[in-house]
Chains A and B, each alone.
Chain A
Amino acid sequence: MTITEKILAKHARKNRVEPGDNVWVDVDILMTHDVCGPPTFGIFKKEFGEDARVWDREKLVVIPDHYVFTSDKYANRNIDVLRDFARDQNLPHFYDVGTERYKGVCHIALPEEGFTRPGEVLFGTDSHTCTAGAFGEFATGIGNTDAAFILGTGKLWVKVPETMQFVFEDELQPYVMAKDMILKIIGDIGVDGASYRTMEFAGAGVQALDMEGRMTLANMAIEAGGKNGVIEPDQVTFDYVDARTNHPYEPVFNDGGAKYHSVKVYKSKDLEPMLAKPHSPDAESTVWQMRDTKLNRAYIGSCTGGKITDFIAAAEIMKKQSVKIDTYVVPATTEIAHGLRTIKLHGETLQEIFENAGARIGPASCAACLGGPQDTFGRLNGAEICISTTNRNFPGRMGSKQSQVYLASPYTVAASAVKGKITDPRDLM
């Protein structure tokens, strides 16, 4: 069996499962946030009763992150709904806004707080929950109704997916990142190329990535329609997890002879900096092909491109440079924001590098990745042409329907911000 099949079999208490089987699995962690938490809690109360208790309060993680720094009264009311539920249910894992516990983007907060563990099953009310597959677990996004069902029962039905394997031979070239790998795959197979299936990432080029790079790969599995992304765990995984939690876990590995839907092999050394052009993540291009395209906005942030390694990459490019276009920097979490203030590159902190280059730095949250209320930091409110480290560029995704978004790696976005036009980062080095 593949990693995904083995994890689902174990959680369905079966010796074996086959792709296409419908199984009920036990849930290790359920995550929700400020957009989908309130309706999830509403359905839970309606179906299980006003006084019902959640199935296991240790397994529920509530992370407000989407609409946090806004004057929108409904958005703020929704965070109050989370507070009330967390208090009524006495939830230990609630990361409230305005407290020292506040984290920011849920998909990065989960691993930082030790909730992403090899071999486990994690569901979240957000499509990018697949990010956690980087840790060798089954992780996928669900809706409010399914989440409410888990809240009451601790279980959910899943159709066992077929697995597509994507192998990267050898290590990446300088200034080519995990984001370029996943944009290349999505461009090749299309936005529904992995629908209903698992995307498993393997090979020396994947093993050479740190956890942040692996998370970028798994994060965008959903952009190819994938049910989950997964990477076999190794010492890199264990070192990250063990530094964050004492919670026991049982890693799961591929069996020899596991059956795959398909195997696609890439030569990492041939991979170039990639783009997704407006308005689809599969509108593939190399950065070189679109070089010199005029831009007026750059954005570095989100679960996809707002991790500490993403900012270190961007700072390498932006050091002692000035940005030519409005450039927004949004750390995914408060831990990463702390990193911006403390990690130094050649004597300057990352924050100093960005500020000296003329970029604007916002507080940790999802911010403009998904547009959000009108006053969201970095939101595209008109006909901006933006290059972004985020994950989606559908019409209106980052705000206005008139705007256009190019998706790219942090190196490419930083280089393009410095030049004011689409720029291959290798041209600046």
Chain B
Amino acid sequence: MSETIRGKAFVLGENIDTDQIIPAEHLVYSLDDPSEKKYYGRFALSGVPVANSGLPDGGVAFTGENSYESQFAIIIGGRNFGCGSSREHAPAALQIAGARAVVAPSYARIFYRNAVDGGFLVPFETEEDLTKAIRTFDELEISREQSELCNLTSGKSHALKPLGDVADIVQAGGIFAYARQKGMMS
């Protein structure tokens, strides 16, 4: 997994639950078959109420009408991002849409674990809530090595917490790659 992630910000509020990330009615599609898998990109974050979608102004769709890919690579969330169900379809949907990282003060533990173990995207934690400091469409660059997020639009930098215990799994690209590196499976 590369050390630098660059792309546009999509800003959301607190307690973004898995029903908002991928509404349950869409969980029927196969994650293996590419002709169905693309629908997760289509419907990623489609459960977010319109007023809260793409802050501060709202009204921004994460994935555009009739599109399967998002223009946003980095999601900025408030605390408790990914709460609710254990559906791994949630981090998978964000990845399928094209997101590569989430930045939030805290995560619901199953979402965090799924994001890391499945190697879908990197969930960065921050001390401060960045949802007011960053605006949707801002151009961001995340350096994993420096544990830093640079807002290229505003020129401000923000510290990220080091990945800690899960850094090795993130680096490997998921729990299976990690287990193979450690000789736990062939």
Contacts and interface: CB of A to CB of B under 8 A. Distances in A.
Contact of B87 (A22, A35, A371, A397): A35
Interface in B145-185: 165, 174-176, 179, 184-185
Chain B interface SS verdict (over half)? loop
Nearest to A161: B109
A282 B43 CA distance: 27
Nearest to A24: B184
Contacts of A48: 185
B79 interface: yes
A159 interface: yes
Interface stretch (A3-11, A190-198, A289-297): A190-198
A36 B113 CA distance: 16
A126 interface: yes
Interface residues of A, number: 51
A156 to B, nearest CB: 9
Interface string B11-27: 00001010110011101
Interface string A180-210: 0000000000011001100000000000000
Contact of A126 (B85, B179, B184): B85
What's the interface size class on B, roughly? 35 or more
Given A75-B28, A143-B114, A145-B117, A394 B49 contact: no
Nearest to B27: A35
Given A126-B86, A153-B184, A395-B47, A74 B28 contact: yes
B28 A191 contact: no
A192 B79 contact: yes
B36 interface: yes
Contacts of A395: 19-20, 47-49
B165 A127 contact: no
Given A74-B29, A153-B184, A373-B28, A225 B118 contact: no
A269 B114 CA distance: 41
Interface in A378-397: 392, 394-397
B56 interface: no
Given A153-B184, A372-B24, A396-B23, A225 B108 contact: yes
A152 B17 CA distance: 30
Interface in B17-59: 17, 19-20, 23-25, 27-32, 36, 47-49
B90 to A, nearest CB: 9
Contact of A42 (B31, B49, B110): B31
Interface string A329-362: 0000000000000000000000000000000000
Interface in A106-125: 124-125
A321 interface: no
B89 interface: yes
A29 to B, nearest CB: 16
Contacts of B97: none
A151 to B, nearest CB: 12
B131 interface: no
A38 B23 CA distance: 18
Nearest to A370: B24
B19 A370 contact: yes
A142 interface: yes
B19 A143 contact: no
A84 interface: no
A285 interface: no
Nearest to B119: A145
Contact of A127 (B25, B29, B85, B175): B85
A146 B17 CA distance: 20
B122 interface: no
A287 B109 CA distance: 31
A372 B110 contact: no
Contacts of A373: 25, 28
The 9 nearest A-B residue pairs measured at CB:
A143-B88, A74-B28, A143-B114, A141-B86, A192-B80, A145-B118, A127-B86, A144-B88, A370-B24
Given A42-B30, A396-B23, 8 more contacts: A36-B87, A74-B30, A127-B86, A145-B117, A192-B106, A195-B80, A196-B109, A371-B19
